[in-house]
Amino acid sequence: MKGQFYNRMSNLLLMGSAVFFLLSACSQLDEKELEKSWESPDQESWNAVLTMSRHDKLSARVYAGRMKQFNETGEVYIGDSMRVDFYNDEGRHTSFLKSDSGIVNEKKQNLIAIGNVEFRSDTGYVMYTNTLFWLNDSNLVYTDGDIELFSEKDTLYGTGFRSDVRLENWTIDKPRGSTRREYDVED
């Protein structure tokens, strides 16, 4: 009886190991295929500038250390640093962000800033996070990750953030920190 139990356990462990090996091999194949697709862009540029618009007006200007364009997906990979300047509907500069890298969707004119993201408004707010999404059609930024937001009167931290690109109308999902301003608490 005891021997049968150990045999079954051995078989289960052996089968589990085989399944784990197969699954990890498949995920490695997928990663290698993904790497191959990123290795062969349709166009590659260094110290490049990409202009984005909304309703035929300048909405953002992207400065890239290195840019890889993929026509089939409509995506542009940005590496070796990225800076994005944002503009309002009147063409006035409102804010900028810097990050390690990013991805631009040329069809929708949206972008994702990735790695050490610093987002600064012209009104004095500074926000830090690891990943930040910008939706061009609504001119909003958001992240579900951790953030740090600083101003002359605020030192705030949280998880989850949504704002206009001026950093004037923002929401932190799980806020904590301190402020020296008056505010109303919603029930």
User: Are residue 28 and residue 47 in the same domain, yes or no?
Assistant: no
Q: Is residue 6 part of a domain?
A: yes
Rounded CA-CA distance 41/106 in Å is 14
140 and 59 within one domain: yes
**Residue 85: predicted pLDDT:** 97
106 and 161: one domain? Answer: yes
Is 28 a member of any domain? yes
* pLDDT score, position 21: 37
* pLDDT value for 187: 61
* Cβ-proximal residues to 68 (8 Å cutoff; 6+ apart), any chain: 38, 41, 43, 44, 76, 77, 78, 79
Report residues of the chain scoring pLDDT below 50: 1-31, 33-34, 36-37
Q: What is the pLDDT of residues 55-99, one digit of tens each?
A: 889 999 999 999 999 998 999 999 989 999 999 989 999 999 999
Q: Which of 145, 130, 132 is nearest to 96 (CA)?
A: 132
In a domain, 186, yes or no: no
Do 12 and 92 sit in the same domain of this protein?
no
Q: Please state the pTM of the whole predicted model.
A: 0.75
Residues 8 and 81 grouped into a single domain: no
Q: For residue 7, what pLDDT is reported?
A: 44
Tell me the two tokens of residue 146.
Answer: 């951790």
Q: Are residues 164 and 138 in the same domain?
A: yes
Residue 187 within any structural domain of the chain: no
The reply to whether 59 and 150 lie within a common domain is: yes
Strands (E), 55-181: 57-70, 75-87, 93-99, 101-105, 110-121, 126-135, 140-150, 154-164, 170-172, 176-179
Buried b (16+ CB within 10 A) or exposed e, 123-148: eebebbbebbebebeebebbbeeebe
Counting every residue, how long is the chain? 187
The reply to whether 4 and 74 lie within a common domain is: no
Report the alpha-carbon distance of residue 27 to residue 36 in Å, rounded: 14
CATH classification at residue 62: 2.60.450.10
- Quick one: pLDDT at residue 42? 92
The answer for residues whose C-beta is within 8 angstroms of residue 137's C-beta and 6 or more apart is 54, 108, 109, 110
Asked if the structure places residue 185 within a domain, the reply is no
Domain annotation covers residue 184:
no
pLDDT of residue 38: 54
- Does one domain contain both 52 and 16? no
Count: domains in the chain? 2
Do 148 and 102 fall into the same domain? yes
Does one domain contain both 94 and 148?
A: yes
Q: Are residues 48 and 103 in the same domain?
A: yes
Residue 122: its pLDDT value, please?
96
Domain that holds residue 99: 43-179
Name residue 177's amino acid: G
